Amino acid sequence: MYRILILLLLISFAGQAQSTFENTTYRGVNCGVTLVEEDVKALADLGGNLIRLSFPSNPLMDIEPPYGFNEEAFAYLDSVLYWSEKYGVGVVIDPHRYPGTEHQWTMLGSDPFWQDFAWHEHTIRLWEQIAQRYAEYGDVIAGYDLLNEPGLPKPIEAGSPGDLNLLYAKLTEAIRKYDTQHTIILAAPRVMNEAGRGSYIRGLPIMELPNDEHLAVEFHMYEPQAFSHQGVLKQDGDLIEYPGEIEGARWNKEKIYAVYQPVRDFQKRYPQVPLFLGEFSSPRWLGKMGNQYLEDIIQVTEQHSISWTYHAFREASVWDAEQSNTDAADTIRQTTTPRLELLTRFFDQNKE
């Protein structure tokens, strides 16, 4: 009964003009842990207008046989959609995990997922289920985010289970059988840059998009990873500074702009397809350096007219903008921090 009530309330908005990545600039956050209504309200009060909602710990489909749908996770999604509609926040649905994937937070080129089409069939079945359940929901659903951070096998063979473009075409076709209105978001794959680190921007040239009127393409930006992830897995080693010399290159805003060259090339190749920066961040305790890095990324992203979601909101302490920007051990949420003020300054543009 509760789910039916939510559905009826949200369907009432379906006939209104659809907000999409084509006509809306989204500035929001990621979240991969359980939100409550107060969290959604807090984001709306800050000015954020999008949640990229992921399910790494409580997948929408069981990752073990018999690969059933997780009704508890779907009920949670229903609640977040209801709260988000209530407070004027869009939601990107990001399942994040599927049968055949081994990592909780990302996809690996070594995953069984890329070795057998049978794993893809589970993914197709899940997206058919999502499309059937939410086709009539209105613009509270900003998009369907098909895969998170696809790391591909080598070599990539056309027509094989490792063919990302083929999988995206199949998923798009499956979704459009039930839902013709919501934006389908296709994530760029991870490839290596000169420093031997994963780059999603460099995955953009690999993509060949299916023929569909409502697509967006996603990339993540953690370059240079030596800076953006220092202290995340371990706390030792010398502090890496930004702006500064990092892995043999001078990193600053101009360097970030140069790294975005594949973004500009993609925009020329697909001028009607909006891009979406789905993740970017740095450890919160890096203080002014970390915040400068974030501001430079946001400004370059805005310069390219691209929507974005900061990683992450009330998820992991390492990224939490409401916690101390200088003390890793201080995990008490504060009413304001320099990083939170930085984000809300850009969120304010959502109100214009």
- Written in H, E and C, the secondary structure of 35-47 is CCHHHHHHHHHHC
Q: Is residue 51 part of a domain?
A: yes
Take residue 185 and report the two structure tokens written for it: 């978001």
| 91 membership: H or E segment, kind and range | strand 90-94
* pLDDT higher at 235 or 167: 167
Residue 32: inside a domain: yes
Does 180 or 195 have the greater pLDDT score? 180
Determine the average pLDDT of the residues in 227-235.
83
Indicate whether 65 pLDDT > 50: yes
- 18 within some domain: no
Window from 6-15, 17-26, 148-157, 333-342 with minimum mean pLDDT = 6-15
Can you tell me whether residue 98 is helix, strand or coil?
coil
Residue 34 lies in a domain: yes
**Contact between residue 57 and residue 94 where contact means Cβ atoms under 8 Å apart:** no
Convert the pLDDT of each residue in 290-327 to its tens digit: 999 999 999 999 999 999 999 999 999 999 999 999 99
pLDDT digits (tens, 9 = 90+) for 140-177: 999 999 999 999 998 889 999 999 999 999 999 999 99
β-pair partners for 250: 245
Q: What's the CATH code of the domain at 36?
A: 3.20.20.80
- Measured in whole angstroms, how far is the alpha carbon of residue 222 from the centre of its chain? 13
The pLDDT value recorded for residue 17 is 54
283 lies in a domain? Answer: yes
CA distance 121 to 134: 20
Overall size of the chain counted in residues: 352
Q: Which residues contact 321 (CB under 8 A, 6 or more apart)?
A: 284, 310, 313, 337, 339, 340, 342, 343
Confidence of residue 16 (pLDDT cuts 50, 70, 90): very low
Cβ-contact 187, 150 below 8 angstroms: yes
Contact call for residues 310 and 43 (beta carbons, < 8 A):
no
Return the DSSP state at 52.
Answer: E
- 92's enclosing H/E stretch is strand 90-94
Nearest Cα to 82, choosing from 131, 144, 9, 133? 9
Per the prediction, the chain carries an average pLDDT of 94
Provide the pLDDT for residue 2. 46
84 and 53 in contact (C-beta within 8 Å)? no
Confirm whether 332 is domain-assigned: yes
Q: Is residue 302 part of a domain?
A: yes
The secondary structure of residue 190, as a DSSP letter, is B
Q: Give the count of domains, the chain.
A: 1
Beta-carbon-side half-sphere exposure of residue 107 (alpha carbons within 13 Å): 26
The whole domain housing 308 covers 2-12+24-351
Alpha-carbon span 348 to 352, nearest angstrom: 7
pLDDT range class, residue 335, cuts 50, 70, 90: very high
- What is the C-alpha to C-alpha distance for residues 242 and 260, in angstroms, rounded to an integer? 18
Asked, for residue 17, whether it belongs to a domain, the answer is: no
